[in-house]
Amino acid sequence: MRQVTACFIRVNPAKPFYYLTLPHIQGRFPAVLRGFAPPLGLVPLPVPFMRGDVVSDAATVQNRRSILVIDDEPHIRRVLEVALNSKGFDVITAPNGIEGLKEIKRDHVDLVVLDLMMPVAGGLETLSRIRANPIHSKTPVIILTGKGQDADRECALAEGVNDFITKPFSPKKLIARIEDILRDA
């Protein structure tokens, strides 16, 4: 059972709004509290709490799914971050495979969106390292890449990816595919 900590906000005395911060993970706030999830990583509560109250999230916070986006293109990361946040997902981003592997070890991730062509550690290397880790080996992965050759697709599918989407892409279609995969997981 996760715990969350209540914090302020009363926007209108007639209609108080209370928020909870998302859970501490391994002694630190998850990436969503670094400004990645609107509104600033806070989740609205239907009932009043005092600032600093620690409560179980089972009855108060919806089960938000966490998506890790690993892509070296900042504009792709930002587009996906905004689109996924608007659909209620928590989003963690990483600019390369090495940073992505650090994030997946640090935070719980429900699905990874992974580019193939990146500096430092490419997508296939990152994918094989995710699959080699028994804790994360079953984490769904969607490849999102500008490399659309059959050989790349076959190699990724052989590594166990859940889908292979080429750029340019439709964020709506990608989100629909993410929702389908998470529903089936």
Rounded-to-integer distance, Cα 96 and Cα 57, Å: 32
Residue 66 has φ and ψ, to the nearest 5°, of -105, 130
Q: For the chain (length 185 residues), average pLDDT per consecutive 10?
A: 42 41 40 35 44 40 78 94 90 95 91 93 93 93 91 89 94 96 90
Please state the pTM of the whole predicted model.
0.68
Instruction: Assess if CATH 3.40.50.2300 describes domain 66-184.
Output: yes
- Tell me whether residue 13 is exposed, middle or buried, using C-beta atoms within 10 angstroms of its C-beta: 0 to 12, 13 to 18, 19 or more: exposed
The helix/strand count (H/E) of the chain reads as 5, 9
Cβ neighbours around 179 below 10 Å, total: 14
Domain boundaries, given as residue ranges, for the chain: 3-56, 66-184
pLDDT in tens, 65-109: 899 999 999 999 999 999 998 888 889 999 999 999 999 998 889
Determine the pLDDT at residue 108.
Answer: 85
Rounded-to-integer distance, Cα 44 and Cα 177, Å: 27
Q: Are strands 18-21 and 3-7 parallel, antiparallel or unpaired?
A: antiparallel
